[in-house]
Structure 1
Amino acid sequence: MEINPTELSEQQVYTFMCSAIVPRPISWISTVDARGVTNLAPFSYFMGVCCTPMTVLFCPVFGSEERPKKDTLLNIEQVPEFVINVTQEKTVVAANLSGAPVPHGESEFDLVGVTPEPSTRVRPPRVREASLALECRVQDIIEVNSGPGGGWVVLGTVLAIHAQDGIFDPQTMRVDLGQLQPVARLGGADFLRATDVFPLHRYRTEDDAAALVGKEG
């Protein structure tokens, strides 16, 4: 079967993408507007970009004809900073609730009952209950399409990392998955726990790959 996406409705494309591009890590993003009012919202169009400088991206999508840009995007246009709070099993219910429609100017921190913790390098607070958080400065905002079904790509430079004690090894810089207990997004109402993990050898050189293929053959 071959599908031409241009022949599908916006909802059909959305449903396909959300069920096919899986699992997706969930960034729980805190921002502030020019008046200092906080906002907190989950995004599953989120990923790392590169290491130098440490860069991440997330993608706000078109809201509605009345308000094409949602609060997160409006806020970072006013105050070009944000915090990515990693969504975990212990916070996923609150993160999911923070995605509910909230009147403009009201804070999701109050709605979901989490604690705003002052950041060290940016103005938006981080979520105290999150075990891992990245303070970021907006590097660029790329508009893909500002109409229905469209969205933006926000690139952010990471200025500071906050990690709960014991969650990562400072020697290896590896985060302990068992301690973090991250949650990923699937399609529809489905989420995923990172509990079924298996290792595979990483091929670092051509000779390394050839040797291993020879052994397996």
Structure 2
Amino acid sequence: MLLEPGDLSEQQIYNFMMSTILPRPIAWVSTVDREGKTNIAPYAYFMGVCCVPMTVLFCPVVPPPPRAKKDTLLNIEEVPEFVVNVASDDNIGAVNLSAAPLPRGQSEFGLTGITPVPSLHVRPPRAKEAAVAYECKVRDIIEISNAPGGGWVVLGTVLGIYVDDALLDDGACRVDLQQLRPIGRLGGGDFVRAATDTFTLPRYKTLADLDECPHVRD
């Protein structure tokens, strides 16, 4: 079967994307408006971009009417900085609750009981309950469409990183997966624990490495 996006409704496209592009990491994004009021909300369109400069992106979509933009995007337009807090098994209940549609200016920190902690490089606070947090300065905001079903790409340059000392391998700068216990988003209201079912495959650095791989066939 071949599906043509032009033949599908917005809801059908959403359902298909959410049930095939997975698991998706969750950016738990904290921001402030020009008056310093805080906001924290989850975004499952999220990914790292590159290492030099260290860059991440997330994508706020067009919210339901009558709102034209989500508070996160409005805040970033006023104060072009944000923090990506990592969603984990320890905080996923608060992450999910922070998606509630509060009135603009009312903080999800208060709703969820999450503790705002001052960041070092940016004005928005990080969440104390997150073991990893990326402090970012907005590099660019790309509008894809402001129509229903549309959205924006927010690119951020990472200025600083908070990580719980207990999770970090100082030598390789790797974070222990079993201690971080990140949560991924699936379709609908479904989530996945990324640390509970993992496997390892070899990485091929040269063509000669393929000769030693029993899975490669002529």
TM-score interval w.r.t. the shorter chain?
over 0.9
CA distance in structure 1 between the partners assigned to 2:73 and 2:15 by the alignment: 23
What 5-or-longer segments of structure 1 have no aligned partner? none
Query: In the alignment, what sits opposite 1:205?
Result: 206
Residue by residue over 1:61-85, the C-alpha shift from the partner in whole angstroms, topping out at 9 and shown as x without a partner, is 0013321111000000000000000
* Residues 214 and 68 (structure 1), Cα distance of their counterparts in 2 relative to 1, 3 Å cut: closer
CA RMSD, 1 decimal: 1.3
Residue by residue over 1:101-142, the C-alpha shift from the partner in whole angstroms, topping out at 9 and shown as x without a partner, is 101110000000010000000000000010000000000000
User: How far is 1:205 from its partner?
Assistant: 1.4
Query: In the alignment, what sits opposite 2:181?
Result: 181
CA distance in structure 2 between the partners assigned to 1:216 and 1:13 by the alignment: 37
* Residues 214 and 67 (structure 1), Cα distance of their counterparts in 2 relative to 1, 3 Å cut: closer
- On the 8 A contact 2:27/2:84 being kept in 1, the answer is yes
CA distance in structure 2 between the partners assigned to 1:65 and 1:139 by the alignment: 28
Query: In the alignment, what sits opposite 2:28?
Result: 28
CA distance in structure 2 between the partners assigned to 1:87 and 1:33 by the alignment: 23
Structure 2 residue 159 is matched with structure 1 residue 159: yes
What 5-or-longer segments of structure 2 have no aligned partner? none
2:74 is matched by which residue type in structure 1? L
Q: Point out 4+ residue stretches in structure 1 off by more than 4 angstroms.
A: 213-217
Q: TM-score, normalised by structure 2?
A: 0.96
CA distance in structure 2 between the partners assigned to 1:214 and 1:68 by the alignment: 51
- On the 8 A contact 2:210/2:216 being kept in 1, the answer is no
- On the 8 A contact 2:38/2:109 being kept in 1, the answer is yes
- SS class of match (1:184): strand
User: How far is 1:214 from its partner?
Assistant: 8.5
CA distance in structure 1 between the partners assigned to 2:107 and 2:54 by the alignment: 29
Q: How does 1:116-131 map to 2 (within 5 A)?
A: 116-131=116-131
Residue by residue over 1:146-177, the C-alpha shift from the partner in whole angstroms, topping out at 9 and shown as x without a partner, is 11100000000000010011101010111100
Structure 2 residue 148 is matched with structure 1 residue 148: yes
CA distance in structure 2 between the partners assigned to 1:107 and 1:173 by the alignment: 33
User: How far is 1:5 from its partner?
Assistant: 1.2
- SS class of match (2:95): helix
Q: How does 1:16-165 map to 2 (within 5 A)?
A: 16-165=16-165
- SS class of match (2:166): coil
1:198 is matched by which residue type in structure 2? F
Structure 2 residue 9 is matched with structure 1 residue 9: yes
2:9 is matched by which residue type in structure 1? S
User: How far is 1:216 from its partner?
Assistant: 7.5
Residue by residue over 1:38-88, the C-alpha shift from the partner in whole angstroms, topping out at 9 and shown as x without a partner, is 000000100000000000000000013321111000000000000000000
Q: TM-score, normalised by structure 1?
A: 0.97
How many residue pairs end up in the alignment? 217
- SS class of match (1:104): coil
